[in-house]
Amino acid sequence: MKNENKLKDIVKDKYGQLVEDDAAGCGSCCGPSDSRNKVYNIMMDDYSSTEGYLADADLGLGCGLPTAFAKIKPGDTVIDLGSGAGNDCFVARHETGAEGKVIGIDFTPSMIQKARSHAERHGFNNVEFREGDIEDMPVNSNVADVMVSNCVLNLVPNKNRVISEIYRVLKPGGHFSISDIVLRGELPKSLQEDAEMYAGCVAGAIQQSEYLGLIEKQGFQNLSIQKEKPIQLPEDVLTAHLSPEEMTSYESAGTGIYSITVYAEKPADASSTKEVDEAIQQETGGSGCCG
């Protein structure tokens, strides 16, 4: 648990700094950390032609376009995990319409503040941002029609806990579309252990088979990969972490870093979250009541 909290602090500090850099007019690639921030930007997809897109809310931190695959319908309640400055929430708002609702959850206070300022400035009264940990979402059970996330689960040490929370919060018959980074083959140890690489989503990646297995184990159905693309780390980023011998080994090992967009559904007959709630109570030692 101590190590998990340390990793969370790394992520919170790094993403808070990215908000400050953006406010200073640097975007996510300024100052002395230029080459390291390439880890973020090489993954991003182009939102510019997407309806509902706000350029000011796009910090270039995603690795896909989950809202394009999320099958959002007018009137839906949509939740974005790790909502950042609000980019995917505002795209989702366009899809769900004024009669729907969008909730963004993020644990970085400066991100929440920035997202709220965008929503207020544009009069988006049906978009709400809540500060909280997606391992313990500040949302009741069975409320979301759709959940999306863009390159965030990598940043969470306890991915299984997040997936169980997604299951809890989705309505029976609801679904998610999540873009994330996965591995095929093992990363060199020096990349895995680097804090900056962790915050940039690469070192926090797990094997694709393990990632999909966690989703299946939770009870989701109709699992599919909607999109995938290979991620090529820039040479200067690799040379900052690997010796020439390690570089040669890495390039010849066939290791692959991929962005995938994953879709799955909560069964329509999942009328109760009792088992999930009981599992959470066992983890926390709580009884589900007070006094």
CB 91 within 8 A of CB 52: yes
- Token pair 């390291």 in the structure block, residue: 36
Q: Does the residue 288 lie in any domain?
A: no
CATH code, domain carrying 115: 3.40.50.150
- Classify residue 82 as left (phi > 0), alpha (psi -120 to 50) or beta: left
- Token pair 């010796």 in the structure block, residue: 243
CB 174 within 8 A of CB 265: yes
Rounded to 5 degrees, φ, ψ at 289 are -140, 175
Q: Does the residue 284 lie in any domain?
A: no
Written as six digits, the tokens of 203 are: 């070192």
Q: Does the residue 15 lie in any domain?
A: yes
Instruction: Look at residue 171 in the predicted model and tell me its pLDDT.
Output: 98
Q: Does the residue 210 lie in any domain?
A: yes
pTM of the model: 0.80
Q: Does the residue 110 lie in any domain?
A: yes
Instruction: Look at residue 47 in the predicted model and tell me its pLDDT.
Output: 86
Q: How do the pLDDT tens digits run along the chain, 291 residues long?
A: 446 665 665 555 565 565 555 554 444 332 333 444 444 456 778 888 889 888 888 887 888 999 999 999 999 999 999 999 999 999 999 999 999 999 999 988 999 999 999 999 999 999 999 999 999 999 999 999 999 999 899 888 899 999 999 999 999 999 999 999 898 887 777 776 664 554 455 667 889 999 999 999 999 999 999 999 988 777 777 787 788 888 888 777 777 889 999 999 999 998 654 444 544 445 444 444 443
Instruction: Look at residue 177 in the predicted model and tell me its pLDDT.
Output: 98
CB 51 within 8 A of CB 13: no
CB 35 within 8 A of CB 96: no
Burial class (CB in 10 A: 0-12, 13-18, 19+), 9: exposed
In DSSP terms, which residues pair with 186 in a beta bridge?
A: none
Give Cα 58 distance to the centre of its chain: 14
CB 253 within 8 A of CB 185: yes
Instruction: Look at residue 203 in the predicted model and tell me its pLDDT.
Output: 60
> Distance (Å, rounded) from C-alpha 255 to C-alpha 200?
18
Instruction: Look at residue 37 in the predicted model and tell me its pLDDT.
Output: 47
Domain of residue 212 covers 2-269
Written as six digits, the tokens of 257 are: 């870093």
Q: Does the residue 278 lie in any domain?
A: no
Q: Does the residue 279 lie in any domain?
A: no
Which element (helix H / strand E) includes 261? strand 256-265
- Count up the domains in the chain and report the number: 1
- Token pair 């997606």 in the structure block, residue: 134
Q: Does the residue 274 lie in any domain?
A: no
Cα dihedral sign for 148, 153, 155, 158? Answer: positive
Instruction: Look at residue 17 in the predicted model and tell me its pLDDT.
Output: 61
186 secondary structure, DSSP code: P
Which element (helix H / strand E) includes 12? helix 2-23
Torsion on CA atoms 277, 279, 284, 286, rounded to nearest 10: 60
Instruction: Look at residue 289 in the predicted model and tell me its pLDDT.
Output: 40
